[in-house]
């Protein structure tokens, strides 16, 4: 299994243009921004003073990257990346080489795992770049980089690590959902472009579902219709992220007026797991039935 | 003692599409390939060769029948497929990886990664100096060579090569021919070879099957098939009289020929179906070597001067064209 993971990792990492465009862009952009900010710190006394007046918190800095991946745009970018991972095998006619060497289920499930781990690694790298980079900036500005470890309240570091782990896990799940949408697109269209289109469309369509339900509610005057939005992966990922960050759940503003409350963490966790298992099993089932004719 | 079959198909059938758009690519195909030989799989474009290979490799599901490898069903049997190496319908690679990296990825996928073995295979297919270049820049011939290397990875017992000489230059074709024979004679492998290069097939294959419209139309040892439609060349004077005499005994009708051919004729012989062609320089009689005394006797009895009666060696290409055109006329 490790060998199969390594094979997929090498394939993904070797496709440098795609990796740079859809995943590498995040840590690279963070690095570039920090370099730019570093120049600003060196040349601008005002900028230095601003940092001294309101020094950044390293805990917040380390958590920031995970928020990106859990937005609709972040997930859409992940879907586009996954489209190449899945649709690329069709477009490059590589399935005929791979499937004579390993079972279909193992290959497709390994793709999900490797792709999500790859994304996770890229965002971990981004966390490190931001964490260290912002620290250097504050040092250049002559400011502190709070909170100091010695100033931490009992259990605060543990709480931070738990939050970091939760955010990383939500990002992992978000990447998997995006990958599943793209994989379905790849299986149906047998092309990268088709996988991108379907993957991005499905990701963005989740917001469309909320809008459709809102309009239907206006027409039918049945607020229970809005409840269906709770069953989308997008809502539950956002809800889990909000619970992890702020200790309270997420609810779209238009739903509050009807007395809805956010789903609890347990319900959202179960729904995300159900979606992940369902989508991946659907991909495996479809792929196992498919004739590879090119 | 029972014969070990490396590959077998039983009533193998594959339909693509549904309803009125349904196309039968493979039609109740029965094939048996014994281990330790080079088996040629021939047929015109669209005959069903690649579809058959894809079913054998479990890339495509059969509509009916079954494909067996080493006596076991190939369908959803990835462990069994590890005993098979294949190059299917042109070699393909990840264009952004080097040739060597491509082989490494495939070996890791299979779980048989061995750096030294990959280097040996690259050497064996003559790609040592180009293996570290990106595969996207490879010519068709270079891809084919690497494709063969990929097929040989993991020490498979059965090697399926679908048009392996596509894009290769004459020297490359010769190397491939030698490699294929070596695989059988030195390494003890079985090679199932699909090719349009009939000259190559004739030189390397022990047995061949000719497939057309998804069905086998001829199958047998190459030497046996070629003997089946052996021809005799007759040079005699007067040529027209000789032709007329031979027609009395074999000819049933007379057909105008193309350039260099005056006429072609099909006749029914007492023991076998034969045909004759009259060319500017002589007459070609589709008859076996043992028929020569009878042909000579007929001509001598008619006072025809004989300059030459000689068996003419028929190539597999001639045989293939004869068989497939025969099927077209049927």
Q: Which residues does chain A have within 8 Å of residue B84's beta carbon, measured at their own beta carbons?
A: 100
Alpha helices in B229-291 (DSSP H): 239-249
Answer positive or negative: Cα dihedral of B161, B162, B163, B164.
negative
Q: In which residue are the tokens 């190539």 written?
A: B315
Q: Does B63 touch chain A (CB under 8 A)?
A: no
**What's the pLDDT at B281?**
63
For B205-225, the DSSP string reads -SEEEEEETTEEEEEEEHHHH
Q: What pLDDT sits at residue B242?
A: 80
Task: With H, G, I as helix, E, B as strand and everything else as coil, classify residue B83.
Answer: coil
- Under the phi-then-psi rule, with left for phi > 0, alpha for psi from -120 to 50, and beta for the rest, what region is A47? alpha
**pLDDT-based confidence at B253, cuts 50/70/90?**
very low
pLDDT tens-digit profile of B167-184? 888 888 888 899 999 999
Q: CA B293, B298, B299, B300 torsion: positive or negative?
A: positive
Residue A200, C-beta contacts closer than 8 angstroms, at least 6 positions apart: A76, A79, A80, A83
Residue A150 pLDDT? 87
- Calpha distance A87→A190 (Å, rounded): 6
Is pLDDT of B231 > 90?
A: no
Q: In sequence order, which residues have a C-beta less than 8 Å from that of residue B224 and are 6 or more positions away?
A: none
Q: Kindly report the pTM of this predicted structure.
A: 0.84
Percent of chain B clearing pLDDT 90 (strictly above):
50
* Cα separation values, A199 from A13, A15, A94, B25, Å: 21, 19, 21, 33
| pLDDT at site B269 | 40
* Residue A139 pLDDT greater than 60, yes or no: yes
Using H for helix, E for strand and C for coil, what is the string for A116-160? HHHHHHHHHHHHHHHHHHHHHHHHHHCCCCCCCHHHCCCCHHHHH
pLDDT in tens, B73-83: 988 888 899 99
Chain A residues lying within 8 Å of B78, measured CB to CB: 101-104, 106
| CB-based contact, B92 to chain A, within 8 Å | yes
Confidence of residue B274 (pLDDT cuts 50, 70, 90): very low
Return the pLDDT at B329: 52
Strand partners, A112: none
Q: Is some CB atom of chain A closer than 8 A to the CB atom of B143?
A: no
**Of residues B110, B113, B150, nearest to A102 (C-beta):** B110
Q: Is A102 on the interface with B (CB under 8 A)?
A: yes
Count of beta carbons in the 10 Å neighbourhood of residue B168 = 21
Dump pLDDT digits (tens) for A110-136: 999 999 999 999 999 999 999 999 999
Q: Do A291 and B88 touch (CB under 8 A)?
A: no
Q: What are phi and psi of A147, to 5 degrees?
A: -85, 145
- The answer to whether B57 contacts A95, with C-beta atoms less than 8 Å apart, is no
Average pLDDT taken over every residue of chain A: 93
Which residue, A154, A110, A17, is CA-closest to B111?
A: A110
Please name the member of B97, B108, B150 whose beta carbon is closest to the beta carbon of A3: B108
* Residues A138, A55: Cα–Cα separation, whole Å: 7
- Hey, is B204 helix, strand or coil? helix
Q: State the best of B77, B96, B102, B108 to mutate against chain A, taking most chain A CBs within 10 Å.
A: B108
Q: In what order do the strands lie in the sheet with B231-237?
A: B255-256, B261-268, B273-279, B282-285, B231-237, B305-312
* pLDDT tier at B328, thresholds 50, 70, 90: low
Q: What gap in Å lies between CA B25 and CA A284, rounded to an integer? A: 26
Q: What are the beta bridge partners of residue B235? A: B308
- Cis preceding linkage at A147, omega within 30: yes
pLDDT of residue B202: 85
Mark out the alpha helices in chain B (DSSP H runs).
Answer: 49-56, 78-81, 99-110, 115-124, 140-152, 170-185, 198-204, 222-228, 239-249, 292-301, 316-329
User: Region B216-220: what's the mean pLDDT?
Assistant: 88
Element (H, E) at B289: none
For B330, the 3-state DSSP assignment is coil
CB within 8 Å: A97 and B58: no
Q: What is the pLDDT at residue B93? A: 96
The answer to whether the beta carbons of residues B5 and B73 sit under 8 Å apart is no
Q: Which pLDDT belongs to residue B19? A: 87
| CA–CA separation, B51 and B62 (whole Å) | 9
The CA distance from A139 to A148, in Å, is 14
Position B279 confidence tier, pLDDT thresholds 50, 70, 90: very low
- pLDDT tens track for B95-120: 999 999 999 999 999 999 999 999 99
Predicted pLDDT of residue B229: 66
| For residue A216, pLDDT beyond 80 | yes
pLDDT at B201: 85
* pLDDT tier, A54 (very low <50, low <70, confident <90, very high otherwise): very high
CA angle A18, A23, A24 (to 5 degrees): 90
Give the residue with greater pLDDT, B316 vs A242: A242
Please state, rounded to an integer, the average pLDDT across all residues of chain B. Answer: 83
**Chain position carrying tokens 């270049």:** B133
Range from A51-60, A252-261, B35-44 carrying the lowest mean pLDDT:
A252-261
Q: What is the DSSP letter of A21?
A: I
Mean pLDDT for the stretch of residues A47-56: 93
B25, pLDDT greater than 60: yes
């Amino acid at each position: 299994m490790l060998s199969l993971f390594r094979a997929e990792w090498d394939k993904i990492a070797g496709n440098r243009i795609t990796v740079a465009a859809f995943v590498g862009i995040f840590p690279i952009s963070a690095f570039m921004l920090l370099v730019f900010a570093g120049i600003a710190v060196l040349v601008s006394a005002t900028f230095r003073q601003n940092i001294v007046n309101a020094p950044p918190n390293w805990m917040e800095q380390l958590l920031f990257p995970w928020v990106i991946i859990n937005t609709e745009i972040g997930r859409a970018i992940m879907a586009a990346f996954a489209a190449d991972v899945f649709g690329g095998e069709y477009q490059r006619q590589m399935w005929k080489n791979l499937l004579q060497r390993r079972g279909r289920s193992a290959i497709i499930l390994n793709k999900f795992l490797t792709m999500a781990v790859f994304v996770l690694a890229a965002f971990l790298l981004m966390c490190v770049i931001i964490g260290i980079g912002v620290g250097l900036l504050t040092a250049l500005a002559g400011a502190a980089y709070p909170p100091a470890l010695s100033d931490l309240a009992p259990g605060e570091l543990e709480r931070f690590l738990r939050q970091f782990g939760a955010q990383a896990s939500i990002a992992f799940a978000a990447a998997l959902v995006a990958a599943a949408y793209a994989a379905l697109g790849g299986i149906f269209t047998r092309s990268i472009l088709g996988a991108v289109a379907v993957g991005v469309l499905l990701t963005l369509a989740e917001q469309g579902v909320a809008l459709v339900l809102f309009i239907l509610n206006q027409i039918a005057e049945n607020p229970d219709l809005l409840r269906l939005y709770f069953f989308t992966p997008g809502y539950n990922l956002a809800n889990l992220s909000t619970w992890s960050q702020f200790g309270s759940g997420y609810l779209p503003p238009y739903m509050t007026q009807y007395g809805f409350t956010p789903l609890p963490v347990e319900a959202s966790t179960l729904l995300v797991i159900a979606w992940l298992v369902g989508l991946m099993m659907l991909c495996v089932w479809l792929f196992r039935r498919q004739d590879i004719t090119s | 003692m029972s014969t070990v079959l490396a590959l077998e198909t039983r009533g193998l059938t594959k339909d693509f599409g549904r309803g009125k758009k349904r196309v039968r690519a493979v039609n109740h195909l029965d094939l048996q390939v014994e281990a330790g030989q080079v088996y040629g799989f021939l047929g015109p474009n669209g005959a069903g060769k690649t579809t058959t290979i894809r079913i054998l490799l479990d890339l495509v599901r059969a509509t009916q029948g079954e494909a067996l490898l080493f006596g076991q069903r190939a369908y959803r049997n990835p462990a069994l497929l590890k005993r098979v190496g294949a190059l299917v319908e042109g070699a393909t690679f990840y264009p952004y990886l080097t040739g060597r990296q491509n082989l490494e990825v495939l070996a890791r996928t299979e779980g048989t990664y061995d750096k030294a073995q990959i280097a040996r295979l690259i050497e064996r297919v003559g790609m040592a100096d180009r293996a570290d270049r990106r595969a996207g820049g490879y010519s068709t011939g270079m891809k084919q060579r690497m494709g063969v290397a990929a097929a040989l990875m993991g020490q498979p017992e059965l090697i399926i090569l679908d048009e392996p000489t596509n894009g290769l230059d004459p020297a490359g074709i010769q190397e491939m021919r030698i490699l294929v024979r070596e695989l059988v004679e030195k390494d003890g492998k079985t090679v199932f070879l699909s090719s349009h290069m009939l000259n190559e097939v004739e030189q390397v294959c022990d047995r061949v099957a000719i497939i057309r419209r998804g069905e086998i139309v001829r199958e047998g040892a190459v030497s046996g098939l070629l003997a089946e439609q052996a021809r005799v060349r007759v040079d005699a004077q007067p040529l027209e009289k000789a032709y007329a005499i031979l027609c009395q005994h074999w000819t049933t009708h007379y057909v105008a020929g193309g350039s260099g051919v005056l006429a072609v004729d099909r006749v029914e012989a007492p023991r076998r179906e034969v045909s004759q062609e009259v060319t500017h320089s002589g007459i070609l009689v589709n008859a076996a070597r043992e028929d020569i005394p009878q042909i000579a006797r007929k001509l001598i009895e008619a006072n025809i001067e004989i300059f030459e009666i000689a068996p003419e060696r028929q190539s597999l290409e001639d045989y293939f064209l004869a068989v497939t055109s025969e099927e077209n006329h049927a």
